[in-house]
Chain A
Amino acid sequence: MSKSRMKWMRLGLVLVLGLLLLSDAPKTYAIEAAGPTAQTDPVTQTDTNTTTGDTIYLPMIAAPVGQTTAAEPSTPVQSAANTTNAVGIICTYGASPNPTFTLTARDGYITLPDGNTAYMWGYAEGSNSFQHPGPVLCVNEGDTVTVVLQNTLSEDVSIMFPGHETVLANGVQAQPQFDGGGNLTSLTNVAVANGGSVTYSFVAGAPGTYLYESGANPRKQVSMGLFGALIVRPSMGADFAYNRADSRFMPAEEFMVLLSEIDPYQHQAAENGAPYNLNNYKPRYWLINGRGFPDSIADNFAPWLPTQPYGALARVHEFHPNETLPPSDPNYHPYPGMIRYLNVGTEDYPFHPHGNNGLVIGRDGRALEGATGQDLSFEKFDINIGPGQTWDVIFKWYDAEQYNATTNPVPVTIPNLPNMVYGTFYGGSPYLGTTGAIPTGGEGLNQCGEFYIISHNHALYQITSWGVNMTGPITYLRVDPPLPNNCP
């Protein structure tokens, strides 16, 4: 409807203002988003920024981090390692072959597309402040991975590492926990409330994408945000998904799509320390990498999203089959991009990338191959990923028709402006690398004739945010024109 479209456009405009004017972005966003989209829902209206004072800081990811014991928030440590990529997966590394990560369970707030905030729990890295989702832990096949969990929350928490065998807790086999009456209390060993800790370790046996998530009161705690992604790199190299030559991808085009959902009443109850009847559980928000659209396409570490560091925009160049371009060519691009999908929600999410079919080459940390290496991969235009699953997908974007304004024009009359409605990402031209007329005062946000191709959850009622349509788990594939180009 027009109303929601207007609202959406306003958010989109504000977003781009943010992109262009980074330093002013938080203020702009807050003013614009709070006014017209303010809801009367009985959810906390706490401004995210009040949790951190006026200081906007980034939850920086440190390179090899040693164990820390601090349980209280401290000033985040800024590290140059892998924090500058505006798009793509942001890995948190340890020191291979024995990486150690410290994850601190703590609380905080995130911003939602309708202007609400949600109270969350999450795994923060070391002594850093709250972030959502937890850090993306990247390790190598064969590493002995140690994860120290420290708990600042008021109830016991834990971490499950589904897909890994022989997980140890404090040096012995991790076990489901039972109370004296034999009742299950946690799927694995816990860090007890208010300052407890537990140390997990396991050997990262098989390359692929994994979830890690709380096993203590998981129906509540996973919903509250106690989850994150774990990537195991194969011994063939970090630019392979698996130990298969056909799983190679462009490292600059590795992306994450982590899908989740939020029931605001559940979170409100947790914030108030009140019980919540999970029979009333009803998600009202759906997120991608912990953000809803349009925040989802903002850069990694966008300053106006201090607790939601991970963007979901995929930015790529055109695929060229091997041998068509020499490695010296700036457009050399002989491998596909890679998207790691994870679902931490409660039902299947059908995620649909437009014009960009994915080849599913692995699921749940296992390559799709037969007993003697037969290729069992399959191509999909709808990644229907189940709860707790991970799907590894490679994709190639190529300019199938090579339309060009002078040598190969589109065989249709391009409507004049009064006969069309154009979108904010439309560059005024059908052609990659070409921009065209947008009226003076128009809202074109296209920078250099790049293409924007949407990806979104196709259970379409889920691309809303408690009344604001066209938000939620939506992101874009940005295809840049061939180099050299005029893109910033």
Chain B
Amino acid sequence: MRNHSSSMQLNRRNFLKMAGSAALLTAGATAMPGMLRRTLLPEAVAQAQSPYDLYYAGTDGWVYLPPTPQIFLPGTQTAIHPDPLAPAPFNTYIFGFRNVSALTTEQKNNQKNKAQHNAPLFWLDQFNPSNPVDFRMQVTNIGLALRPDLFDAHTLHWHGFRNVIPFFDGEPTGSIAVPTGANFTYIYRPRDPGTYMFHCHVEDVEHVHMGMTGLVFVRPLQNGNTSLYASGKYAYNDGDGSTGYDREFAMFLSEVWAESHWSDAHIQLPEWSDYRADFALLNGRVYPDTLAPNAPIDAGASVHALAVQTVNNPGQPDNGDLVPPPGRPELQYQPHSSRITCQPGERVLLRFANLGFKESAITLAGIQMRVIGRDATLMRGRDGTDTSYETDTIAIGAGESYDVLFTTPPFSGGAGSTGLGYDSYLLYNRAYTRANNLAAGGFGGQATEVHVYPNGALAAQQYPNDWGI
């Protein structure tokens, strides 16, 4: 069995010293296939940027996961989590995307090494043939600050998009990818509402696991029709209001195998068949951080994606960096909250997508869930037979999505069952062996709470995952 003997490891400082030598670069370039070599050529200014609906940048960065218990490289005394290279208050190296739609070029370039996980949630309307509008997703690659030796390209693969041509699929072997400094625009005309996911597909074993992953959903053309459900908001074009909802929460599942994240930071190669989920994440965080607030959102700018406010310290220019959730500076690059808030009688839509590598068993204790969609498909047979079903646990495999509805139960009264003004129901990954990140007391990982408030306590949602508080 392969092990990580010290003689195999290349000291990071020495490696960078070597990489700085012109001789090695030349030799390396000669040994490289032409396709890779070309990316080393001096890049002219990228092409004139076309208008876009969203503009995402791929880069590296750091996030925070519970620092205890410490994790060691198997069979060694090498502590890999928290990563000693990490700048405080962070501890885990990632690759990821940032939403740079509203940033200037200078602000955008400042975001190198400031990736977030999960990638910014985005959504769009179903393509309307009678009012055809392309959705334009521009992607750029601003490089990896900690790994300048890895000049990997990036792509954005919309996982589950039906009948896409390879050019817009983001799978790099059958198509093209975005080298550092370049831009590419993906055109989407989504004809099928539902919940999907997206990720970089370059070296996807690595880039997906390192965090270049997120959730995307498509709103149905039926939206706005208040005759089927009063809110006029639906998960699908159901024709009968059965997928109508009042509040929606994106629930993006991912995982962190500490060894692979440490390996990328320390110029090592992990053995992927040793994979394990040290941390199972919900919207990029583990419980109880999942309950922490969303980063401050600019609701007006959140037309297609959650627009996190950027830093603008008095007297200093806005450098484009993210404003952390209130009181949680260590969650600066994990902006998405998973706390589910709702009022009695309201229908709540949970959109699950799993880009971890293991199957999750998501249980909602005390409230029945109705599965109304899977893999962006309404639960109906070809002849219209209703195949939706109720359950308290959904098994979500790697790469699957589930849309579930629940009807909020009554409020228990007074200060609620928690004494905090709400009743609480736990939503958690029942696959305990990979879900609790060895947290003290056994509570951690892929979990959050449903908080039922009395009627009138919550405002309408302004954006997905909005608490309404």
A441-488 interface (Cβ within 8 A of B) = 441-443, 451-454, 458-464, 466-467, 469-470, 476
Q: Indicate whether A44 reaches chain B with its CB closer than 8 angstroms.
A: no
Residue in A246, A403, A461 whose beta carbon sits within 8 Å of that of B357 in the complex: A461
* Binding stretch for chain A, among B74-82, B225-233, B270-278: B270-278
Q: Indicate whether A272 reaches chain B with its CB closer than 8 angstroms.
A: no
Neighbouring A residues of B162 by C-beta, 8 Å: 355-357, 381, 400
CB pair A443 B34 closer than 8 Å: yes
Neighbouring A residues of B34 by C-beta, 8 Å: 439, 441-443
Q: Which of B1, B50, B173, B400 has the most CB of A within 10 A?
A: B173
CB pair A451 B375 closer than 8 Å: no
Digitize B32-74: 1 where CB-to-A-CB distance is under 8 Å, 0 elsewhere: 1111101101011011101000000000000000000000000
Neighbouring B residues of A285 by C-beta, 8 Å: 273
26 pairs of residues in contact across A and B, judged by CB atoms under 8 Å: A12-B173, A41-B1, A41-B2, A284-B273, A350-B359, A350-B397, A350-B400, A352-B159, A354-B159, A355-B163, A356-B162, A359-B382, A379-B375, A380-B374, A384-B398, A412-B136, A412-B187, A418-B38, A423-B176, A423-B177, A426-B175, A460-B204, A460-B357, A464-B273, A466-B273, A469-B203
Digitize B298-341: 1 where CB-to-A-CB distance is under 8 Å, 0 elsewhere: 00000000000000000000000000000000000000000000
Digitize B371-392: 1 where CB-to-A-CB distance is under 8 Å, 0 elsewhere: 0001111010111010100000
Residue in B48, B205, B382 whose beta carbon sits within 8 Å of that of A460 in the complex: B205
Which 6 A-B pairs have CB atoms at the shortest separation, nearest pair first? A458-B399, A384-B397, A375-B381, A430-B167, A461-B275, A423-B173
Report the bound CA distance from A467 to B168 in whole Å.
30
Instruction: Tell me the minimal C-beta distance from A454 to chain B in angstroms.
Output: 5
Q: Indicate whether B219 reaches chain A with its CB closer than 8 angstroms.
A: no
Q: Indicate whether A281 reaches chain B with its CB closer than 8 angstroms.
A: no
B133-185 interface (Cβ within 8 A of A) = 134, 136, 149-153, 157, 159-169, 171-179, 182-185
In chain A, what residue has the closest Cβ to B189?
A401
Neighbouring A residues of B379 by C-beta, 8 Å: 378
Report the bound CA distance from A458 to B189 in whole Å.
25
CB pair B399 A464 closer than 8 Å: no
In chain A, what residue has the closest Cβ to B276?
A461
A242-269 interface (Cβ within 8 A of B) = 246
Residue in A379, A382, A423, A453 whose beta carbon sits within 8 Å of that of B400 in the complex: A382
Q: Indicate whether A282 reaches chain B with its CB closer than 8 angstroms.
A: yes
Q: Indicate whether B269 reaches chain A with its CB closer than 8 angstroms.
A: yes
Q: Indicate whether A288 reaches chain B with its CB closer than 8 angstroms.
A: no
Instruction: Tell me the minimal C-beta distance from A114 to chain B in angstroms.
Output: 11
Residue in A384, A419, A470 whose beta carbon sits within 8 Å of that of B46 in the complex: A419
Report the bound CA distance from A381 to B381 in whole Å.
16
CB pair A458 B398 closer than 8 Å: yes
Q: Indicate whether A143 reaches chain B with its CB closer than 8 angstroms.
A: no
Neighbouring B residues of A464 by C-beta, 8 Å: 205, 272-273
A301-353 interface (Cβ within 8 A of B) = 347-348, 350, 352
In chain A, what residue has the closest Cβ to B377?
A379
Report the bound CA distance from A9 to B202 in whole Å.
13
Neighbouring A residues of B179 by C-beta, 8 Å: 419-421
Q: How many residues of A contact B (CB 8 A)?
A: 80
Known contacts A5-B203, A413-B185, A423-B177; 6 further A-B pairs (Cβ under 8 A): A284-B273, A355-B163, A384-B398, A452-B174, A461-B357, A469-B205
CB pair A2 B164 closer than 8 Å: no
Q: Indicate whether A410 reaches chain B with its CB closer than 8 angstroms.
A: yes
Contact A452 to B166, CB < 8 A, known contacts A419-B47, A423-B175, A443-B35: yes
Contact A420 to B159, CB < 8 A, known contacts A415-B182, A470-B203: no
Contact A2 to B152, CB < 8 A, known contacts A413-B50, A418-B43, A454-B171: yes
A/B pair count, beta carbons within 8 Å = 252
A6-26 interface (Cβ within 8 A of B) = 6, 9-10, 12
Digitize B242-286: 1 where CB-to-A-CB distance is under 8 Å, 0 elsewhere: 000000000000000000000000000101110100000000000
CB pair A442 B174 closer than 8 Å: no
CB pair B47 A415 closer than 8 Å: yes
Q: Indicate whether A275 reaches chain B with its CB closer than 8 angstroms.
A: no
Contact A382 to B169, CB < 8 A, known contacts A356-B163, A420-B178: no
Digitize A399-425: 1 where CB-to-B-CB distance is under 8 Å, 0 elsewhere: 111010000001111011111111111
The contact size tier of chain B is: 35 or more
Prevailing SS type, chain B contact patch: loop
CB pair A422 B35 closer than 8 Å: yes
In chain A, what residue has the closest Cβ to B48?
A413
Q: Indicate whether B4 reaches chain A with its CB closer than 8 angstroms.
A: no
Neighbouring B residues of A2 by C-beta, 8 Å: 32, 36, 149-152
Q: Indicate whether B370 reaches chain A with its CB closer than 8 angstroms.
A: no
Report the bound CA distance from A410 to B175 in whole Å.
14
Residue in A3, A284, A352, A453 whose beta carbon sits within 8 Å of that of B269 in the complex: A3
Contact A417 to B177, CB < 8 A, known contacts A380-B374, A397-B163, A452-B166: no
Q: Indicate whether A178 reaches chain B with its CB closer than 8 angstroms.
A: no
CB pair B272 A469 closer than 8 Å: yes
Q: Indicate whether B191 reaches chain A with its CB closer than 8 angstroms.
A: yes
Instruction: Tell me the minimal C-beta distance from B174 to chain A in angstroms.
Output: 4
Q: Indicate whether A4 reaches chain B with its CB closer than 8 angstroms.
A: yes
CB pair B152 A374 closer than 8 Å: no
In chain A, what residue has the closest Cβ to B28?
A2
Contact A375 to B385, CB < 8 A, known contacts A350-B398, A461-B357, A463-B205: yes
In chain B, what residue has the closest Cβ to A456?
B204
Report the bound CA distance from A432 to B183 in whole Å.
23
Q: Indicate whether B209 reaches chain A with its CB closer than 8 angstroms.
A: yes
CB pair B209 A1 closer than 8 Å: no
Report the bound CA distance from A368 to B385 in whole Å.
12
Report the bound CA distance from A285 to B272 in whole Å.
10
Neighbouring A residues of B272 by C-beta, 8 Å: 460-461, 464, 467, 469
Neighbouring A residues of B46 by C-beta, 8 Å: 419
CB pair B152 A460 closer than 8 Å: no
Report the bound CA distance from A5 to B400 in whole Å.
26
Residue in A359, A374, A458 whose beta carbon sits within 8 Å of that of B383 in the complex: A374
CB pair A422 B176 closer than 8 Å: yes
CB pair A459 B184 closer than 8 Å: no
CB pair A357 B160 closer than 8 Å: yes
CB pair A453 B187 closer than 8 Å: no
Neighbouring B residues of A399 by C-beta, 8 Å: 163, 165
In chain A, what residue has the closest Cβ to B387?
A376
Q: Indicate whether A276 reaches chain B with its CB closer than 8 angstroms.
A: no
Report the bound CA distance from A116 to B187 in whole Å.
42
Q: Indicate whether B358 reaches chain A with its CB closer than 8 angstroms.
A: yes
CB pair A466 B375 closer than 8 Å: no
In chain B, what residue has the closest Cβ to A402?
B165
Q: Indicate whether A377 reaches chain B with its CB closer than 8 angstroms.
A: yes
Q: Which of B39, B43, B175, B275 has the most CB of A within 10 A?
A: B175
In chain B, what residue has the closest Cβ to A261?
B273
Q: Which of B166, B359, B376 has the most CB of A within 10 A?
A: B166
Neighbouring B residues of A374 by C-beta, 8 Å: 381, 383, 385
Q: Indicate whether B208 reaches chain A with its CB closer than 8 angstroms.
A: yes
CB pair B47 A411 closer than 8 Å: no
Q: Indicate whether B238 reaches chain A with its CB closer than 8 angstroms.
A: no
CB pair A1 B385 closer than 8 Å: no
Report the bound CA distance from A432 to B173 in whole Å.
16
Q: Indicate whether B125 reaches chain A with its CB closer than 8 angstroms.
A: no
Q: Indicate whether A370 reaches chain B with its CB closer than 8 angstroms.
A: yes
Neighbouring B residues of A355 by C-beta, 8 Å: 161-166, 169
Report the bound CA distance from A336 to B47 in whole Å.
41
Q: Which of A355, A375, A380, A453 has the most CB of B within 10 A?
A: A355
Q: Which of A401, A417, A439 has the most CB of B within 10 A?
A: A401
CB pair B39 A1 closer than 8 Å: no
Report the bound CA distance from A403 to B377 in whole Å.
25
CB pair B273 A461 closer than 8 Å: yes
Residue in A359, A381, A411, A432 whose beta carbon sits within 8 Å of that of B165 in the complex: A432
CB pair B166 A451 closer than 8 Å: yes
